[in-house]
């Protein structure tokens, strides 16, 4: 007896599922790579100072707005800078890197204002958390004060792509993926690769690892820790700003609070990977990106909660994160 | 005088309620735990009030009975307490930043749920919550006793064994544990008490506002309550109360400072830049007066000068 007639032909059934799965994977990798570069910024700062920079999400927002300004587009009518535009109009890629650089400089300023004074006073670490929250509040509301609360979009097709979507399947069974998602994935991968090389292959990267291991010992060994901390904040802000532009290019800049939810999701990413663990942040970014991509369409309204549910579960099951070490606290 | 109360009636009520919310954040802070969960429990309390008063208790006409409000408060306290145990026990076994992270996850999950569930009215929220009082100022009958009871209870708590254990944990958690204090138990207790208070305040708030939606319990709201505590003072029960009262009134004061003689950008700033001022105050206070404006030393100083004046 053969029961094959009752079920659908196996290859077709698998094919339908497979195309959906492949599409989810590609979308998940794309957003996951942005989570990864964003969360790396959190993690770099955490690894050397042991604090979480809550202004990171606000710097992400700023980066997106800087890029918008550098492409020479006009701001809306609400806010102090109503209807103004820069006299220059840079190509998108240049504006993106410029925006990220400016975001990096803001991040250095954040360190100067919110973290260094407290560090010099040897204050409680929770106070640094609070003070970076204060900076986030200032930045977000400053944006609103200057350019209003409306959403902004980059020029359509910012990367000058020839096709809006690329088909990964066949003609009969198309698996379309928006080409911007692929560009985002590529940009994020290049950045991740460069950063990995910089951390593992350069003297500066080795110095960074030494500072992450033990700040005082690193200083005793002749490493200029102050300069390294400034550099770390610059890199962290650069990554945040870049992530902001990439997310803005894939959707739009939804207003001054653009980066706050993203920033909070980033906390889920770093806790999942292990606080202060660089490879963990990358892994966590991809895991959360993929998890969000696989939320079934009928539950799409719960997608925003996925990162937070994961954060909570990981605190419950494995607080040191996927790749983290358990730390024994000594007196 | 009656003009003053008519104009500023709702402001006065919000000042008192925000002082209570500041206390709800101060409670976990007594045991050294930074929690941003208060808005979540506050939102929960508000939804309980909104759902009970519009869907369960049907009051046809006239003022909404106070007894029902008290039942809602009791329910909100119970629900918040149970939920606080569920959130608190796993995250408070850990030290350091983990509670802040867990509470952020908690308020975001509450926000997503209230936006999507049917019973909370989705993005629109719940409208037409009945009012037990005719004027906004009437709510002082609920808010003021609540503030007095909460303040006295916390003041007393700081002077008994449990409060001293909180204090020891804040000073040094490892040392407190080594002295035989059950740190997890006390941290969960402090967190749960704060949650219960926030839930109860949510009930009153929902009736005052007459409407309730997902914008009520956000991350930003948590930062605002934190500002009240930090600026007012995080080491005495007086600090959060003063912070909550003063910073709620601050926007009104700033607005009244504006006028014809000032440039437009400054007037705009005084009207809409309060959050920038809040943020600046947070950054400055953590650096320059980490204990807030009302410090234990200041209170002792006042007491001493009063004592010497009496002699």
What is the mean pLDDT of the segment spanning A88-114?
A: 93
Q: What is the pLDDT of residues A129-182, one digit of tens each?
A: 889 999 999 999 999 888 888 888 888 777 777 777 887 777 777 777 788 888
Cα of A159 to nearest chain B Cα, Å: 33
Instruction: Give the percent of chain A with pLDDT over 90.
Output: 36
pLDDT band at A121 (very low <50, low <70, confident <90, very high): confident
Q: For residue B279, give the nearest of A121, A137, A331 by CB distance.
A: A137
Report residue B99 as tokens.
């509670």
Is the CB of A268 less than 8 angstroms away from the CB of B105? Answer: yes
Judge: A304–B273 Cβ closer than 8 Å, yes or no. no
> B89 touching A, CB under 8 A?
no
The per-residue DSSP string of B96-165 comes to: TTHHHHHHHHHHHHHHHHHHH-TTTTTTT-B-----SSSSGGGGHHHHHHHHHHHHHHHHHHTTSHHHHH
Question: Chain B residue closest to A132 (CA)?
Answer: B283
By Cβ distance, the residue of A51, A308, A316 closest to B90 is A316
Q: What is the number of alpha carbons within 13 Å of residue A9 lying toward its C-beta?
A: 4
A13: left (phi over 0), alpha (psi -120 to 50) or beta: alpha
d(CA B46, CA B57): 15
- CB half-sphere exposure, B49, CA atoms < 13 A: 36
CA distance B214 to chain A (A): 14
Chain A: closest CA distance from residue B253 (Å): 19
The string of pLDDT tens digits covering residues A171-226 is 777 777 788 888 888 888 898 889 889 988 999 889 988 888 888 888 898 888 88
Q: Which of B109, B217, B247 to mutate to test the interface with A (most CBs of A within 10 A)?
A: B109
**pLDDT tens profile A258-288:** 888 899 999 999 999 988 888 899 999 999 9
Question: Does the domain spanning B2-247 belong to CATH 1.10.3470?
Answer: yes
Question: Are B116 and A135 an interchain contact pair (Cβ–Cβ within 8 Å)?
Answer: no
Over residues A81-88, mean pLDDT? 79
Asked if B269 is an interface residue toward chain A (Cβ–Cβ < 8 A), one would say yes
- pLDDT > 60? residue A329: no
Chain A CB contacts of B112 under 8 Å are 301-302, 304-305, 308
Of A80, A139, A312, the CB nearest to B102: A312
Contact criterion met (CB < 8 Å) for B226 and A133: yes
Angle between helices A258-273 and B219-232 (to 10 degrees): 90
Query: Do B286 and A134 count as a contact with CB atoms less than 8 A apart?
Result: yes
Is residue A77 less than 8 Å (CB to CB) from chain B?
Answer: no
pLDDT of residue B63: 77
Read off the pLDDT of each residue in A56-81 and give the average, rounded to a whole number. Answer: 89
Q: A59 or A124, which is more confident?
A: A59
Q: Where are the domains of chain B?
A: 2-247
Tokens in use for A264? 């909070």
CB neighbourhood size of A101 (10 A): 17
List, for residues B60-116, the tens digit of each pLDDT value.
Answer: 767 788 888 999 999 999 999 999 999 998 888 887 788 888 899 999 999 999 998
User: A256 is written with which tokens?
Assistant: 């001054």
Q: Which of A125, A315, A330 to mutate to test the interface with B (most CBs of B within 10 A)?
A: A315
Q: Which of B32, B91, B273 sits opposite A145 (nearest CB)?
A: B273
**pLDDT tens across the length of chain B (311 residues):** 567 777 788 899 999 999 999 999 999 999 999 888 999 999 999 999 999 998 888 777 677 888 889 999 999 999 999 999 999 988 888 877 888 888 999 999 999 999 988 888 888 889 888 888 888 888 888 999 999 999 999 999 999 999 999 999 998 888 999 999 999 999 999 999 999 999 999 999 999 998 999 888 888 888 889 889 988 988 899 999 999 999 888 888 877 777 777 777 777 777 677 788 888 888 998 888 888 888 888 888 888 888 887 76
The mean per-residue pLDDT over the stretch A287-303 comes to: 89
């Amino acid at each position: 007896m053969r029961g094959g007639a009752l079920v659908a032909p196996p290859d077709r059934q698998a094919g339908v599922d497979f195309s959906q799965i492949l599409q989810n994977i590609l979308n998940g990798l794309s957003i996951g790579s942005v989570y990864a570069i964003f969360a790396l910024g959190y993690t770099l700062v955490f690894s050397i100072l042991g604090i979480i920079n809550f202004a990171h999400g606000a710097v992400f927002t700023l980066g997106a707005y800087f890029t918008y300004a550098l492409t020479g587009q006009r701001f809306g009518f609400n806010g102090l800078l109503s209807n103004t535009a820069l006299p220059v109009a840079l190509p998108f890629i240049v504006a993106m890197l410029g925006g990220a650089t400016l975001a990096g400089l803001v991040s250095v300023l954040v360190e100067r204002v919110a973290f260094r004074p407290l560090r010099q006073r040897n204050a409680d670490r929770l106070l640094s958390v609070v003070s970076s929250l204060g900076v986030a509040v200032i930045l977000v509301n400053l944006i609103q004060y200057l350019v209003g609360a409306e959403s902004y979009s980059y020029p359509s097709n910012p990367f000058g792509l020839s096709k809006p979507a690329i088909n990964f399947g066949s003609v009969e069974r198309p698996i379309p993926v928006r080409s911007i998602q692929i560009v985002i994935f590529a940009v994020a991968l290049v950045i991740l690769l460069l950063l990995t090389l910089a951390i593992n292959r350069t003297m500066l990267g080795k110095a960074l690892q030494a500072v992450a291991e033990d700040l005082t010992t690193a200083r005793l060994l002749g490493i200029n820790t102050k300069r390294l901390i400034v550099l770390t904040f610059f890199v962290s802000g650069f990554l945040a700003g870049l992530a902001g532009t990439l997310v803005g290019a894939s959707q739009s800049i939804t207003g001054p609070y653009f980066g706050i939810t993203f920033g909070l999701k980033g906390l889920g990413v770093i806790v999942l990977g292990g606080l202060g663990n660089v490879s963990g942040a990358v892994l966590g970014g991809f895991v959360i990106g993929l998890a969000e991509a696989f939320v079934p369409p009928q539950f799409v309204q719960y997608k925003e909660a996925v990162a937070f549910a994961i954060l909570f579960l990981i605190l419950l099951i494995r607080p040191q994160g996927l790749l983290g070490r358990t730390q024994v606290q000594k007196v | 005088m009656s003009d003053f109360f008519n104009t500023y009636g709702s402001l006065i009520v919000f000042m008192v309620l925000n002082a209570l919310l500041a206390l709800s954040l101060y409670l976990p802070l007594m045991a050294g735990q930074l929690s941003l969960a208060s808005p979540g429990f506050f939102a929960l309390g508000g939804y309980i009030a909104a759902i009970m008063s519009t869907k369960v208790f049907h009051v046809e006409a006239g003022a909404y009975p106070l007894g029902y409000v008290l039942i809602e408060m009791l329910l909100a306290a119970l629900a918040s307490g149970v939920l606080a145990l569920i959130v608190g026990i796993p995250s408070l076994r850990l030290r350091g930043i983990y509670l802040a992270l867990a509470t952020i996850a908690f308020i975001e999950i509450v926000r997503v749920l209230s936006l999507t569930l049917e019973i909370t009215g989705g993005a629109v929220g719940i409208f037409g919550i009945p009012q037990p009082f005719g004027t906004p100022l009437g709510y002082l009958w609920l808010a003021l006793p609540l503030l007095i009871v909460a303040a006295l209870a916390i003041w007393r708590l700081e002077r008994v064994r449990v409060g001293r254990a909180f204090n020891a944990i804040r000073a040094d958690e490892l040392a407190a544990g080594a002295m035989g204090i059950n740190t997890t138990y006390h941290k969960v207790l402090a967190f749960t008490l704060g949650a219960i208070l926030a839930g109860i305040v949510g009930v009153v708030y929902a009736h005052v506002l007459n409407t309730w939606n997902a914008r009520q319990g956000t991350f930003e709201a948590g930062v605002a309550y934190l500002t009240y505590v930090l600026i007012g003072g995080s080491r005495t029960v007086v600090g959060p109360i003063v912070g909550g009262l003063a910073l709620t009134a601050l926007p009104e004061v700033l607005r009244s400072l504006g006028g014809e003689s000032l440039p437009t950008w400054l007037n705009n700033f005084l009207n809409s830049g309060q959050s920038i001022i809040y943020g600046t105050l947070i950054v400055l206070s953590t650096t320059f007066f980490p204990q807030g404006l009302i410090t234990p030393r200041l209170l002792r100083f006042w007491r001493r000068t009063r004592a010497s004046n009496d002699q």
